[in-house]
């Protein structure tokens, strides 16, 4: 169900089959049983996971343009990174960390160019550094036109 969304939105972040959602929830229960944690730590873990998941499926890029030239860009994912996963269905499997896709050779080879294009469009279309809709369908149309 989750990957039916080729141009994700925040709703996509928790669009899972019931059994998959139940299984993912059980992982937290197992961790708490094995490694008892304070209720606040569990709450923060769930909240931060939720925020990262929604950002990864946002369909908008909100990361600042300067992020591109930092170590953080080399390590962590952006909304563009995960949006490519949903539009191409191969590569960019990580939701939290980009370096795993780089280590395993599964990162989309066009990711950095796509990120730069989106960031450039943010400035050109908006006149500011706020946000731009990452339209995977438009990207697919451009890719198909370029390959024709």
Task: Give the lowest-confidence range in 4-13, 25-34, 48-57, 96-105.
Answer: 4-13
Q: What does the pLDDT look like over 20-74, one tens digit per residue?
A: 778 878 888 888 889 888 999 989 988 998 888 888 778 788 888 889 999 999 9
Predicted pLDDT at 57: 77
Share of the chain above pLDDT 70, in %: 73
Q: Between 61 and 16, whose confidence is greater?
A: 61
CA dist., res. 127 & res. 113, Å (int)? 20
59 within 8 A of 8, measured Cβ to Cβ: yes
State the chain's mean pLDDT as an integer: 78
Residue 144 confidence class, pLDDT cut points 50, 70, 90? very low
Say how many CA atoms lie within 13 Å of 40 toward its Cβ. 0
Cα 113 from chain centroid (whole Å):
16
Cα 34 from chain centroid (whole Å):
29
Predicted pLDDT at 44: 92
CA dist., res. 92 & res. 36, Å (int)? 33
CA dist., res. 128 & res. 23, Å (int)? 42
Predicted pLDDT at 130: 43
Decide: pTM greater than 0.85.
Answer: no
Q: Which residues of 18-44 are buried (b: 16+ CB within 10 A; e: fewer)?
A: eeeeeeeeeeeeeeeeeeeeeeeeeee
80 within 8 A of 115, measured Cβ to Cβ: yes
């Amino acid at each position: 169900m989750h990957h039916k969304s080729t141009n994700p939105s925040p709703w996509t972040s928790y669009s899972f089959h019931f059994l998959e959602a139940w299984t993912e929830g059980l992982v937290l229960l197992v961790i708490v049983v094995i490694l008892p944690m304070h209720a606040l730590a569990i709450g923060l873990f769930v909240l931060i996971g939720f925020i990262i998941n929604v950002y990864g499926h946002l369909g908008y890029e909100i990361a600042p343009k300067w992020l591109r030239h930092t170590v953080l860009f080399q390590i962590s994912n952006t909304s563009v990174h995960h949006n490519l996963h949903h539009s191409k269905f191969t590569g960019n499997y990580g939701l939290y960390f980009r370096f795993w896709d780089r280590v395993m050779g599964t990162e989309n080879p066009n990711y950095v160019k796509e990120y730069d294009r989106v960031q450039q469009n943010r400035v050109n279309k908006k006149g500011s550094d706020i946000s731009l809709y990452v339209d995977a369908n438009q990207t697919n149309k451009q890719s198909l036109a370029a390959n024709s």
